[in-house]
Chains A and B, each alone.
Chain A
């Protein structure tokens, strides 16, 4: 089952396509897509694998972004250390709230996470304003020192960095799907009583999944911070809490490449529509309703079976030709 080549080829193909897109699309767009897809990856894992819908992902995004920003603004200059700080903050925050949250039923989980996002918003905007400079945000683009090997303070090389990180994360999540832990996550979504009967602890599986997913989100946050060189509370404002959920569903819940496809579609539409009518919320909202009514499979969820069928047909024809020639 774990043949290295068949295991890798989908991943390599997908990221080769992203690399090709880099040639045709402007750099800011493709970087935005990469970071956004990492951001959505955590939400997709929670929703598709563990069955938790989280309207609170911006809270963890902000945790990562602000940890990076604090480090770069007040203490150091090395962006790589900043990213490590962001990851550490993600782990710390999700370990702090996780044991409390994962006990809740899925509907309460969604609402409590939403509340957390709003808490973080006000925390950053008002309560911690002396440190975070409130709505003005923290600017540190010029204080970051260039790094050797891969200078991520420059957009061109930041793209390479984001690309490598995304590839590693996707490989990691694909690997998770194949492990016993991945199977347990699915089982806790489908039937928690049976899983408990098999001797696994629902609580610890959910907690681990929660920490993994939210650390991924925090990583996306610190990448945003490095790329933009500034953070403001706007990223966790109540109006943006649904973004990752929308993109997850747009791409296809629980599919591996859904987040990438969803991010490309969402970011592209946002760009196009805001250029045309400046009122893109209207469009996104009704698109969401339409997708939900049309069958909640999302873009990749609909495309994947078709592509697989097509690939199979091509392979069969090729095999027939080879055997016919003999």
Chain B
């Protein structure tokens, strides 16, 4: 059996990976809930966030500044893409947005290859310290990542439940026509949501960069996991996304402790199982129609 120390560090590792997945999946989930689009280009903003963290930390020596720049630039890119591309395809079918955003993702990866090259690059961890939990040494940075994810969840919850824009977004998830009928500028609402989603993906990329190597294909590598998080949680549900992100994180981390190749396989098995029992995911509402 696995000893307690390994288990403890495995759980922390799973929670931090789950936090990254959560930050990215929340964008996909919000976009699906409100605009009824599947926005694969979130994975591009993730790569942009990671690469800016790399460049800025190399130039100034501060990783946190890089993360901040990543968030801002990812948000700006999201704004541009929303204005230029998505604005024209909201009315179309769901699969349509999926293909278009996949095009943006591949094209964006091409641009990244053009600017930064194809060689994977390392990013230093901003906090080198280790902390002792239950007798195991755990990098503090992973704990910070988990804390940031929980903070973002809290902030999103407050934003959606306590502000007018947030309430409008929640109402829009239920019924867009009614919100428009109340005189709220839905088109601006969409833009705001898309920028939030893009910035969160950028944040995820910036936080993930010190944990792995930064390379052009990184978005495509996490693509499958983020999909799984969204499917298991149910498209359009924030709470479901958080729960399923941590489930997937734990399965990846603990699965790899038991048998290494399981890390990639086990989450898929769990996803198939959940879809078999509940085709709309854990918290997805069966009423959602396109």
- Pair A281/B89 contact, Cβ less than 8 Å: no
Which residue of A53, A284, A286 contacts B98 across the interface (Cβ within 8 Å)? A53
Give the shortest distance, in Å, between A107 (CB) and chain B (any CB): 5
Give the shortest distance, in Å, between B73 (CB) and chain A (any CB): 19
Write out the residue numbers on chain B whose beta carbons fall within 8 Å of the beta carbon of A112. 231, 271-272, 275
Give complex CA distance A185, B231 in Å.
26
- Pair B98/A107 contact, Cβ less than 8 Å: yes
Q: How many A-B residue pairs have CB under 8 A?
A: 126
- Pair B106/A288 contact, Cβ less than 8 Å: yes
Q: Which of A103, A114, A283 has the most CB of B within 10 A?
A: A114
CB contacts under 8 Å to B, within A85-133, are 100, 103-108, 110-112, 114-116, 118-119, 122-123, 126-127
- Pair B221/A238 contact, Cβ less than 8 Å: yes
A4 interfacial contact with B, CB 8 Å: no
Give complex CA distance A239, B224 in Å.
11
B76 interfacial contact with A, CB 8 Å: no
Q: What string of 1s and 0s marks CB contacts (under 8 Å) between A284-304 and chain B?
A: 111111001100100000000
Give complex CA distance A239, B221 in Å.
8
A282 interfacial contact with B, CB 8 Å: yes
A contact face: mostly helix, strand, loop, or mixed: helix
- Pair B103/A285 contact, Cβ less than 8 Å: yes
- Pair B224/A282 contact, Cβ less than 8 Å: no
- Pair B100/A281 contact, Cβ less than 8 Å: no
Write out the residue numbers on chain A whose beta carbons fall within 8 Å of the beta carbon of B230. 111
Give complex CA distance A116, B109 in Å.
23
Chain A residue with Cβ nearest B107: A285
B200 interfacial contact with A, CB 8 Å: no
- Pair A53/B99 contact, Cβ less than 8 Å: yes
- Pair B110/A293 contact, Cβ less than 8 Å: no
Write out the residue numbers on chain B whose beta carbons fall within 8 Å of the beta carbon of A100. 272, 275-276
Which residue of A127, A289, A296 contacts B107 across the interface (Cβ within 8 Å)? A289
A242 interfacial contact with B, CB 8 Å: yes
- Pair A127/B265 contact, Cβ less than 8 Å: yes
- Pair A282/B110 contact, Cβ less than 8 Å: yes
Give the shortest distance, in Å, between A103 (CB) and chain B (any CB): 7
Chain B residue with Cβ nearest A277: B114
B57 interfacial contact with A, CB 8 Å: no
A33 interfacial contact with B, CB 8 Å: no
Give complex CA distance A115, B273 in Å.
13
How many of B's residues come within 8 Å of A, CB to CB? 44
Give complex CA distance A111, B230 in Å.
10
B85 interfacial contact with A, CB 8 Å: yes
- Pair A111/B227 contact, Cβ less than 8 Å: yes
Write out the residue numbers on chain B whose beta carbons fall within 8 Å of the beta carbon of A289. 85, 100, 103-104, 107
Q: What string of 1s and 0s marks CB contacts (under 8 Å) between A35-60 and chain B?
A: 00000000000000000010000000
User: Which range holds the interface residue count of chain A?
Assistant: 35 or more
Chain B residue with Cβ nearest A238: B220
Chain B residue with Cβ nearest A112: B275
Chain B residue with Cβ nearest A292: B100
Give the shortest distance, in Å, between A10 (CB) and chain B (any CB): 28
Which residue of B103, B221, B271, B276 contacts A287 across the interface (Cβ within 8 Å)? B103
Write out the residue numbers on chain A whose beta carbons fall within 8 Å of the beta carbon of B102. 242, 245, 285, 288
Q: What string of 1s and 0s marks CB contacts (under 8 Å) between A227-244 and chain B?
A: 000000000001100100
Q: Which of A105, A106, A115, A122 has the most CB of B within 10 A?
A: A115
Give complex CA distance A118, B88 in Å.
31
- Pair A288/B103 contact, Cβ less than 8 Å: yes
A184 interfacial contact with B, CB 8 Å: no
- Pair B99/A245 contact, Cβ less than 8 Å: yes
Give complex CA distance A239, B43 in Å.
13
- Pair A115/B223 contact, Cβ less than 8 Å: no
- Pair A281/B110 contact, Cβ less than 8 Å: yes
Which residue of B110, B227, B265, B279 contacts A103 across the interface (Cβ within 8 Å)? B279
- Pair B100/A108 contact, Cβ less than 8 Å: no
Give the shortest distance, in Å, between B113 (CB) and chain A (any CB): 6
Residues of chain A whose beta carbon lies under 8 Å from any beta carbon of chain B: 53, 100, 103-108, 110-112, 114-116, 118-119, 122-123, 126-127, 238-239, 242, 245-246, 249, 279-289, 292-293, 296
Complex A-B: 22 CB contacts under 8 Å: A100-B272, A107-B95, A107-B98, A108-B275, A114-B223, A118-B264, A122-B265, A245-B99, A279-B110, A279-B114, A280-B110, A282-B109, A284-B106, A284-B110, A285-B102, A285-B104, A288-B103, A288-B106, A288-B107, A292-B89, A293-B85, A296-B96
Instruction: Using A108-B279, A114-B223 as known contacts, list a sample of 20 further A-B pairs with CB atoms less than 8 Å apart, ordered by residue number in A.
Output: A100-B275, A104-B279, A107-B94, A107-B98, A107-B235, A111-B230, A115-B271, A119-B265, A238-B220, A242-B102, A249-B99, A281-B106, A281-B109, A282-B111, A286-B103, A288-B102, A288-B106, A289-B104, A289-B107, A293-B85
